[in-house]
């Protein structure tokens, strides 16, 4: 099922007198049940593409749909509500709240949405269970390894049960073993029907991808995994 769609979406940033085209016209459809890797060098436009898909920024031109809603003309408040209902975000730096326990961190988005505490905490425990983190409910973030903190951050992104999870360089601060654990968890979520999008500059992550979008100099191109690998081999 389609979750997000860009049709000719572009992003141009104005800095002083000059314009920076962060993303040239892009056509992409994202569906549930797939792990899509957005890969490219630093500054190529990956975060811009992710931000458009997640309705964090408005396109300069072109059209964006999120879960069937056409976003053109939506107010900031309406965009925020659309985002809240449909997208979970995961970042490189985990962004957990230091004085809160693991369970409280994951329950927080639901508390902020006005859910009853008991309901929020039950959902938090269920999300943490999906990520294999049930044994650390009362721990503080600093007591966990980087990989465990990222699994908590993924549980937090998942707690409101959004159809799409967007991850910006989620493994960039992790060692190889934690990277594999985190990527396998994200792959499980995709297999369960979520749309999972992972931005990375790390070619080692292609083994986890169902589909690849390669971003070069603000231009996004669809690749199958085997096309991408063939192209890599031809450059060696
Ligand atoms: N808010 C902004 N204002 C001005 N330029 C920006 C802004 N965000 C990104 N850019 C520029 O757009 C280009 C793409 O950035 P980004 O999408 O963050 O790339 P990546 O995530 O691949 O490193 C870069 O040249 C960057 O400097
Ligand atoms: Mg980036």
Question: Per-domain residue ranges for the chain?
Answer: 2-96+154-235
The neighbourhood of ligand 2, an ion, using CB within 5 A, equals 47
- Quickly state the pLDDT bin for 22 (edges 50, 70, 90): very high
Alpha carbon of residue 20 to chain centroid: 24
pLDDT recorded at residue 235: 81
232 pLDDT higher than 90: no
Percent of the chain with pLDDT over 70: 100
107 pLDDT higher than 90: yes
The stretches of the chain forming alpha helices (DSSP H) are: 46-53, 76-86, 102-112, 117-130, 146-158, 176-191, 225-235
- Spatial separation of the C-alpha atoms in residues 208 and 186, rounded to whole Å: 9
35 pLDDT higher than 80: yes
pLDDT recorded at residue 67: 96
Q: What is the pLDDT of residues 3-13, one digit of tens each?
A: 999 999 999 99
Q: Which CATH class is domain 2-96+154-235?
A: alpha beta
| Mean pLDDT value across residues 58-87 | 95
236 pLDDT higher than 90: no
Q: What is the pLDDT of residues 115-173, one digit of tens each?
A: 999 999 999 999 999 999 999 999 999 999 999 999 999 999 999 999 999 999 999 99
Instruction: For residue 215, give the ligand 1 atom closest to its CA.
Output: 22
For residue 225 the two structure tokens come to 């995994």
State the ligand closest to the CA atom of 92.
Answer: 2
pLDDT recorded at residue 15: 87
CA of 171 to the centre of ligand 1 (A): 20
Instruction: For residue 42, give the ligand 1 atom closest to its CA.
Output: 23
């Amino acid at each position: 099922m389609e979750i997000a769609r860009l049709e000719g979406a572009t992003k141009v940033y104005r800095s002083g007198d000059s314009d920076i085209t962060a993303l040239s016209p892009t056509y992409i459809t994202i569906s549930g049940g797939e792990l899509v890797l957005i890969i490219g060098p630093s500054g190529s436009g990956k975060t811009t593409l992710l931000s458009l898909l997640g309705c964090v920024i408005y396109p300069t031109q072109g059209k964006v749909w999120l879960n069937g809603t056409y976003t053109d003309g939506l107010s900031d408040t309406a965009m925020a509500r659309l985002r809240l209902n449909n997208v979970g975000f995961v970042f490189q730096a985990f962004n957990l709240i230091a004085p809160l326990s693991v369970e409280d961190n994951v329950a927080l988005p639901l508390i902020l949405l006005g859910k009853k505490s008991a309901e929020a905490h039950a959902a938090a425990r269920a999300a943490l269970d999906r990520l294999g983190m049930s044994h650390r409910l009362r721990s503080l973030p600093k007591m966990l390894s980087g990989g465990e903190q990222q699994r908590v951050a993924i549980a937090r992104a998942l707690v409101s049960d959004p159809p799409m999870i967007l991850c910006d360089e989620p493994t960039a601060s992790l060692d190889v073993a934690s990277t594999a654990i985190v990527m396998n968890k994200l792959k499980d979520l995709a297999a369960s029907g979520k749309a999972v999008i992972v931005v990375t500059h790390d070619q080692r992550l292609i083994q986890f991808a169902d589909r690849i979008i390669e971003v070069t100099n603000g231009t996004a191109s669809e690749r199958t995994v085997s096309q991408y690998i063939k192209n890599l081999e031809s450059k060696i």
